[in-house]
Amino acid sequence: MLDVVKVFVPTAIAFFVGILMTPALTHFLYKHKMWKKKSGKVAMDGSATPIFNSLHKDREVGTPKMGGIIIWGSVLLTVIIIWLLSEFFPNSITGKLNFLHRNTTWLPLFTLIAGSLIGLIDDFYEVMGTGDHIAGGLSLKKRLFIVFLISLVGAWWFYTKLGVSIVSVPFDGSVDIGIWFIPIFSLVMLAVYSSGVIDGIDGLAGGVFAVIFSAYGVISFYQQQIDISAFCFVIVGGLLAFLWFNIPPARFYMSETGSMGLTLTLAVVAFLTDAHVEGKGLAVLPVVAFPLTITVLSNVIQVTSKKFRHGKKVFLIAPIHHHFEAIGWPAYKVTMRYWVISIIFALIGVIIALSGNLI
């Protein structure tokens, strides 16, 4: 019972902190016109995106970016509030609620804040109309390099501080990969980060990430990793506060300051719930995060097709959620169907993870 309280009290705190933060943030974002000054984007290969630009020409201008501040800001404030209570009012209750510990939540919290702050810088450059590419902001190469550096910090922490070198393998238990854990960790984090482009339709990314982190909250709770479970659900609390204002019509967009921190943290959580605690957090990641998986795959398929089939495309637009928009699905229908798919695959992933013998 105390473990349940430890998980859901911080979740509720994060939600209400996020709700209380929003009026001040909204006022700031609208007062300073923190949105793109010109709609449109370019594809990953540098080509034009006329279909996307026609669909989103009225959405990107006039609606602020940086709404992801609500998510990581509410998480950070919740962590600080509970930690201060445990320090200045030490008792069994405040001590139990504190989920900030070196071996469990230091790394995911660092990853969330570091990724979110880098994303915030990218968003700032974008709304100011400056940066390394036509839409402003940090170039993809620079963002990938920064993510790579963060991944090395995470891999080093796992390998040297936590002594982790084994990973779960589908259908084959687990394997000790030794020093190869470091490059594998980096590759996984880069792959998960690339799925952050799922942000782009009102309510889509917030709902999908809320489901995914809820699933990992359940998995870690089952593993008796209560600190990690509490951390995951605190993120869910922040996401729900964000969604309260991001449901169509969105008051603001999550943008890079939300998606970068969330994707990098998701990779860390997957490893924290993996083979070193006799779990399958990494093996079930493509299932639990299925919407992110198909987002990455659709981009890879599109780029590969254009390169080797003389510019021919598989999808009207990639990633695939924009393809559904292009064939006539209303944005709200894409969002709701993604939420449904997210819940279904998250449940499948949780069942596989808890059964321990299906993959």
**Which range among 33-42, 95-104, 142-151, 187-196 shows the weakest confidence by mean pLDDT?**
33-42
C-alpha 85, offset from chain centre: 28
Query: Does pLDDT of 265 surpass 70?
Result: yes
d(CA 230, CA 43): 38
Looking at the predicted structure, is the pLDDT value of residue 135 above 80?
no
C-alpha distances (whole Å) from 269 to each of 86, 107, 215, 220 are 24, 9, 11, 9
Residue 82: pLDDT band with limits 50, 70, 90: very high
pLDDT over threshold 80, residue 45: no
Question: Euclidean distance between the first and final Cα of the chain, in Å?
Answer: 31
pLDDT of residue 62: 80
Q: Which of 90-99, 135-144, 195-204, 316-325 has the lowest mean pLDDT?
A: 135-144
Alpha-helical regions (H) of 129-167: 140-156
| Region of residue 203 (phi > 0: left; psi between -120 and 50: alpha; otherwise: beta) | left
* Two structure tokens written together for 138: 């940090």
Is the pLDDT assigned to residue 134 strictly greater than 70? no
Among 37-51, 195-209, 234-248, 312-326, which stretch is predicted with the lowest mean pLDDT? 37-51
Q: What is the pLDDT of residue 246?
A: 92
Question: pLDDT value at position 308?
Answer: 87
Decide if pLDDT at 167 tops 80: yes
Question: How many other CB atoms sit within 10 Å of the CB of residue 49?
Answer: 17
Residue 41 pLDDT > 70? no
Read off the pLDDT band of 47 (50, 70, 90).
low
In 188-202, which positions are buried (b, 16+ CB within 10 angstroms) versus exposed (e)?
bbbbbbbbbbbbbbb
Please state the rounded mean pLDDT for residues 245-264.
94
Name the nearest CA neighbour of 166 among 11, 277, 287, 297: 277
pLDDT at 173: 83
Mean pLDDT of 217-229: 96
Query: pLDDT value at position 53?
Result: 59
pLDDT confidence of residue 356: 65
Interval 188-195 mean pLDDT = 96
- 150 — pLDDT class (breaks 50, 70, 90): very high
pLDDT digits over 179-191, tens only?
A: 999 999 999 999 9
